[in-house]
Amino acid sequence: MTSTRVRALIESDVPDILKIEYSVFPHSTWTSNSFQTCIRSKSGYAYGIFLKRKLIGYIVLHVIIPEAHIVNFAVDMEYQSQGFGQELLSYIFKKLKKLKIKSIFLEVRVSNAKAISLYKKFNFKPIMIRNKYYKNNNEDGVVMALFFNGLLPK
């Protein structure tokens, strides 16, 4: 097994983050400033997964206890479907449980079957559709939620 390392992202990681961001999401509206703001924020959590010192994926969350919201998550195209996204999600979920987070939310494009499948492996459930959520092409977004007590609200 190849050795990976997960660590908190720092501002000097932003150029590498942007390379992945624009490769995975060509129409992304995220900028260098967007990532720097999240890295600096007291309610922001930004972690990267590194393979041989190379950033290959990242996750950015906003945390307002007892909730967390995944606002950005990507794995470099070259490293997708190899378990690195799962490793990063597992790492961050352990951290969130220590913070007493009870629920995690995210939005994902309805067309992003690969991501939806990954989230379902972690027991995220679709809870609603946001019509025309993605402004670059008016694609709908699926809101997914994970509740650590295993229950969805009625």
| Average pLDDT rounded to a whole number, residues 28-42 | 92
Confidence of residue 150 (pLDDT cuts 50, 70, 90): low
Q: What is the CATH number of domain 4-147?
A: 3.40.630.30
Taking the C-alpha atoms of residue 65 and residue 56, their distance in angstroms, rounded to an integer, is 28
SS3 content of the chain, % helix, strand, coil (to 5): 30, 40, 30
Q: DSSP labels for 8-60?
A: E--GGGHHHHHHHHHHH-TT----HHHHHHHHH-TTEEEEEEEETTEEEEEEE
88 near 122, Cβ under 8 Å? no
Confidence of residue 153 (pLDDT cuts 50, 70, 90): very low
Taking the C-alpha atoms of residue 20 and residue 73, their distance in angstroms, rounded to an integer, is 10
Taking the C-alpha atoms of residue 53 and residue 115, their distance in angstroms, rounded to an integer, is 25
CA end-to-end span of the chain: 42
- Per residue in 82-121, pLDDT (tens digit) is 999 999 999 998 888 888 889 999 999 899 899 999 999 9
Active-site annotation, residues? 107, 119
Nearest in space to 142 (alpha carbons), one of 114, 111, 109: 109
**Hey, what are 36's tokens?**
């720097």
